[in-house]
Chain A
Amino acid sequence: MIEVERLTKYYGRLAAVQDVNFKVQSGEIVGFLGPNGAGKSTTMRILTCYSPASSGTIRVLGMDVQDDSLKIRSKIGYLPENVPLYDWMRVKSYLDFVARAKGVPAGRRASELGRVAAAVGIDKVMDKIIRWLSKGYRQRVGLAQALIGDPPILVLDEPTIGLDPRQIREIRALIKGFSHNRTVILSTHILPEVSQVCDRVIIINRGSIVAEDTPANLTSAHGKSARVQVDVRAPHTEVLALLESLPGVLSVRSFEAVGDGECSLVVDSLPQTDLRPDLARAVLKKGWDLLELRSIHASLEDVFIDLVTEESGEDVVADEGNQREGGS
């Protein structure tokens, strides 16, 4: 549905996006994850035909962004960051303008407005002036304008930024709701959002893709080791010695004794192995009390931080990227 090949975009001499390749299948919800200034907005702007790429090709539904810009634009609903709307307009006349701009035929305009308003729940504010809407409703109106014309692709740039937790949930639910027959690309730097909403995650940092997979695979595959936490009531040094002697154990880290002779240890082993049964047997064999035994999954946040900080040391560049993204 969307194929991006060797996409590069320069702002002056600064590469905002460099050599990015990815594909999005029809019906997928793909999350763009990355710190501010990573190139998420830039990629989306190129995808929506707002600004052209410096090099590389993007094909949407088999059409090239440069050659068939107008056709592609009518297939994409776009919600830019910060939701730029015409503040002085009433919601209804604004959406009417969008419908006209998107070429919705006169006969279908009223029903289209009704459908979209119902879908995002703005029926009650249709006659209000946009300037006086709350942030949550503003966001909904932004989603509504993206949905007008029933585009098969939605591109949402930070759709939940600046909302309160309840509004975030509502907007997420909306996005999930109208994604069943659409392809959705959304960008965010809020991690739970990705695992809750997206089928697939593309982690982007400093203009290039550092990882791409389902949220579940990312968290399991990324772990460099399987990790188990063991809480035992026993002499600290003996436990340490025992666990280190077990086969398959790579390393054991112990934390401060919790008190009462309890100690808490974290055991690392090779990935894809489960040491829990062995650990339990070994501890019980010694006659110690096994208080807790659980495997620790890397959270998406760990994966993200790991990937993003892996090649640090060029923070200046990232900062410049930030300013560019914020200021343009």
Chain B
Amino acid sequence: MRGWYAVFRKETANFFVSPIAYVLIASFLLLTGFFFWLNIAVMSEYSLRATNNPMVAGRINVTDFVVRPLVANMGIVLLFVTPLITMRLFSEEKKSGTIELLLTYPITDLGVMTGKFMAAALVILVMLAGTFTIPLILFSLGPPDTGTLLTGYLGLLLLGAAFASLGMFISTLTENQIISAAVSFGAALIFWVLSWASAFVDEKTGTVMRQMSILEHLNSFLKGIISVSDISFFVMFTAFFLFLSLRSLETHRWRG
């Protein structure tokens, strides 16, 4: 881990000195804001229609109509944005040759990787923190279920970390940032939708596919449940791709 902080500082500076982080965070917030407005609009439409029907009106609440769909939408926006955050992590250094110097400083490969991952995670954290206005507005309108809100954010954070580690691994494989982003996005999307196909294969394969699907594991967070299996899925997913990144760095040394 030695030296990870130096790398973390440099990477963070790269994100925030250049416009990269601001552009990505701005797009994320814009899209999130749009979905928030959309969900609110849907809710008020339903409320209006339900004025004469107390049965239905009783079931309309902020948690079901705004928080849950919004968290799901934010997850999808993350799917698009994270590859753009991670695409340059290693690709840029490979292209410019700076990786040669970086890997000859007295920093372990683990330190290099940790520093870069933490910087990407920080951008995602800042991005999610930027949505703080949404809970503020919700609480002023009528309190949503705090638990669901919190598990929603926890889920998004874990999701962001998972996407970041996947994207970082892809970026160790190529020196082309566009390829890095495109492949990361494709891979993340496959993991996202894997469960859709589970109905069309035999039961065992279907179970495996559902278990590997990100969408399935995000659901419990949307419901306000903290489930150990779902949390460990994201932790394992992240750890697995961090491990692959480390191995990939090692082979990069061999290949020179």
Contacts and interface: CB of A to CB of B under 8 A. Distances in A.
A189 B104 CA distance: 24
Contact of B256 (A11, A70, A86): A11
A182 interface: no
Interface string A44-69: 01001111100000000000000000
Contacts of A73: 104-106
Given A11-B256, A50-B253, A102 B105 contact: yes
Interface string A219-233: 000000000000000
A237 interface: no
Given A73-B106, A88-B17, A101 B100 contact: no
B97 A88 contact: no
B14 interface: yes
A42 B96 contact: no
B228 to A, nearest CB: 37
Contacts of B5: 100
A84 B13 contact: no
B47 interface: no
Contacts of B254: 51-52
Contacts of A82: 97
A185 B96 CA distance: 24
**Residues of A contacting B: mostly:** loop
What is the size category of the interface that chain B forms with chain A?
20 to 34
Contacts of B101: 78, 80, 84-85, 145
Given A50-B100, A73-B106, A100 B6 contact: yes
Given A88-B14, A88-B18, A100 B96 contact: no
B107 A101 contact: yes
A142 B10 CA distance: 17
Contacts of B18: 88
Contacts of A103: 2-3, 106
B44 interface: no
Given A45-B256, A328-B256, A102 B104 contact: no
Interface string A81-113: 010111111000100011011110000000000
Residue among B96, B99, B100, B253 with max Cβ neighbours from chain A (10 Å) = B100
A74 interface: yes
Contacts of A97: 6, 9-10
Interface string B95-126: 01111111111111000000000000000000
Given A80-B101, A101-B107, A93 B96 contact: no
A101 B253 contact: no
A318 interface: no
A148 to B, nearest CB: 10
Nearest to A151: B106
A78 B253 contact: no
B97 A80 contact: yes
B7 interface: yes
Contacts of B107: 101
Interface string B70-108: 000000000000000000000000001111111111111
A91 to B, nearest CB: 14
Contacts of B102: 101
A52 B250 CA distance: 10
A101 B256 contact: no
Contacts of A45: 100, 256
A1 B147 CA distance: 63
B6 A101 contact: yes
Contact of B103 (A50, A74, A100, A328): A50
B96 A84 contact: yes
Nearest to B105: A101
A292 to B, nearest CB: 52
Interface in B1-45: 2-3, 5-7, 9-10, 13-14, 17-18
A317 to B, nearest CB: 18
A318 B104 CA distance: 27
Interface of B: 2-3, 5-7, 9-10, 13-14, 17-18, 96-108, 253-256
Interface of A: 11, 42, 45, 48-52, 70-71, 73-74, 76, 78, 80, 82, 84-89, 93, 97-98, 100-103, 145, 328
